[in-house]
Structure 1
C-alpha cells in the first residue's frame, strides 16, 4: 500500500465515500499516523456543525485513532480559544468539512487557531484535509459561489479571499458533477498566474511536499494552466459577455496520475502490478 507523508494536504471534491472502502478518508487517516493519529475536525462551514462533526468523529473512530476532537468554532472569538489552540499543538492532522466556504473563511481567517494550523502545515508537521467547502478555501483566491451551464463570463463566478494554504491554486469542487468548467475558467480569466484545479466528487487532489499533486479516488482532477494565455477579452467586455481565453493548457488526471506544480508537467500513474 502506498505511503504518503505527514505533510500532505488532501483537497477533496466533496461527497467522498464515507461508508464502503473510504479510500480517501483512509488515506487521510494513514497520513495522520493511523492508530497514532490525533485529529482535529473543523465543521465550521456547516450549518449543522454538531451533526457533521459527530459523523466524522464516528468515521475516524471506526478506523482507530489515538484521539479526536471537534474544534467547533461558531464565532470568531472561539478562534482564540486556548483549549482549541492547545489541541492543535498535539494534532497530527486537521480535517475541514463541507458546507459554505464563505462561512468557513469568515469564522477562521486570521484567527490564532487558523494561523497556527497554517504554520504547522507549512512546517510539514501535520496533515490537512478539506472536503467541498473545506477544499474551496485552500487557495489565496477562492471561488465563493456562482453558476454553471453557460459560457465563461465574469458574472458566472463570485470570488473571495481563501485561507492561502496552497496559495497558487484556485480550487473548484463537485467539478464535472455540477458542470463547473466554465466557472473555473471565469475565475482564471482574472488570475491567469494561478493554477485552476477542478476536483470531481469522491476524488482527491493530494498535494505532496515535493510540489506534486496526485489524484486519488473515483473521478478526475482537471488542471487548467493559464500561464501561457496569449489573449483574453476579460477587461474589454461587460460582466455578462462571453470570455475569450486563448492558449490554455488543460490536463485531465485520473487515479494515480501526478502533476508537477513547478514544471507544470503531468505524469501518468505508475502501474504497481
Structure 2
C-alpha cells in the first residue's frame, strides 16, 4: 500500500485550520483513501453535536470525500445502532471532534461502536483522527482537566481513563497556546512509564503502524520522556506542593520532525 494512503492515527492539538490550506484535514482525508474516503464523524464530545457534526460534514464534502456519516451518539444505548455499526465496519476514516473528553469517554467507552473502531485501528484498516478532546482520549491514561500556569503539582491535573489507542502515551492539547507544560509534567510524574505528548493548536502527529510518528502543522509537538527518571518527590509531597523531577528528557518537534514511540528516540532526517 502506498505510504500516502496507508492508515494512521492522527492526533491533532485542536483549532486546526478549517478555512485556508486545511493541510491537516487534507492529510486525514488522504490517509483515509482520498477521493474514495468514507468518513465517520463522531461529535459526541461536543455539547452541540449536530452543529459540529454538520460543520465537519460540510468540510469533508467540500474536500471531496466519497461518503460521510455523522455518528451522533448522545446516549450509550445509541451505540448499539446496527446501521451505525455497519457504517463503522465499512468506513475508511474516523474523525473524533473536540468538546469534553470525559463526555466522549462516558458515552462511548466499551460500546459496540468504539470496540469496532478499536479492532479496525489495531488491524490497520482505517485512519483514526481526533482533535482537541478527541486527541486527549488517545492514551490509556487521560488528562481529563486541570489548571495551567503554575509549578507542576498533583492538584494541577485530573486524570481519567481514555480509549487507549496509544496506550503508552499521555496526550495534552492546545499545548503552548494554553500554557499546559506544568500540567503535562504533573501527569507524567504520576505515570513516568508513559510518554508525554503536548500538541499545539493547528498541529498534529501522524502515527504510523510501526509506531514512528511525524509532526505536522504550524506549532510544535512537545515530547516529555521520563524513561531515565532518577528521582521524583511526587509520592511524598502534598497535593499542592511543587513536584521535583530529575533527569527528564524533553524534545520539541517542528513540522516534519520524526520520533519513534517505542524506541523513544528521534528519527534523523533522511
TM-score by length of 2: 0.98
Name the counterpart of 1:166: 166
Provide the rounded CA distance (Å) in 2 between the counterparts of 1:154 and 1:204: 27
Deviations 1:221-249, CA, capped at 9 Å, x for gaps: 00011111110000100000000011001
Aligned equivalent of 1:46: 46
Query: Hey, what does 1:31 align to over in structure 2?
Result: 31
Matched with 1:85 is 85
2:22 aligned with 1:13:
no
Alignment check: 8 A CA contact 1:5 1:208 kept: no
Q: Are residues 1:65 and 2:65 paired? A: yes
Q: Distance in 2 between matches of 1:255 and 1:232?
A: 32
Distance 1:81 1:37, change over 3 A: same
SS in 1 for 2:242: coil
> What's the CA shift for 1:211?
1.3
Point out where structure 1 has 5 or more consecutive residues left out of the alignment. none
C-alpha distance 6-81 of structure 1, shift in aligned 2 (>3 A): farther
Q: CA deviation at 1:6?
A: 3.2
Contact 2:223-2:252 within 8 A present in 1 as well: yes
Q: Which moved more, 1:201-210 or 1:5-14?
A: 5-14
CA contact (8 A) 1:43 1:97 kept: yes
Q: CA deviation at 1:5?
A: 4.2
- Number of aligned residues: 269
1:4 partner SS: helix
Please, what is the CA RMSD of the aligned residues?
A: 1.0
What is the 5 A alignment of 1:36-185?
36-185=36-185
Deviation, 1:268, is 4.7
Does residue 265 (structure 1) correspond to residue 250 (structure 2)? The answer is no
Measured in 2, the distance between the counterparts of 1:178 and 1:124 equals 33
Number of the residue aligned with 1:200 = 200
- State whether residues 256 and 268 of structure 1, in contact with CA within 8 Å, keep that contact through their aligned partners in structure 2: no
Q: What residue number does 1:212 align with?
A: 212
TM-score of the two chains, using structure 1 as the length reference: 0.97
- The offset of 1:77, in angstroms, is 0.5
Q: CA deviation at 1:7?
A: 2.3
Shift of 1:267: 2.9
Kindly indicate whether the alpha-carbon contact (under 8 Å) linking 2:143 and 2:187 is maintained by their aligned counterparts in 1: yes
Separation in 2, partners of 1:163, 1:110: 9
Deviations 1:46-91 (A, max 9, x none): 0000110000000000011110000000000011111110000110
Contact 1:255 1:269 survives alignment (8 Å): no
Residue 218 of structure 2 corresponds to residue 226 of structure 1: no
Looking at structure 1, the residues matched to 91 and 206 of structure 2 have their Cα atoms a distance apart, in angstroms, of 19
2:249 paired with 1:241 = no
Whole-Å Cα distance in 2 between the matches of residues 22 and 3 of structure 1? 20
Give me the whole-angstrom Cα distance separating, in 2, the residues matched to 1:259 and 1:230: 23
4+ residue runs of structure 1 moved beyond 6 angstroms? none
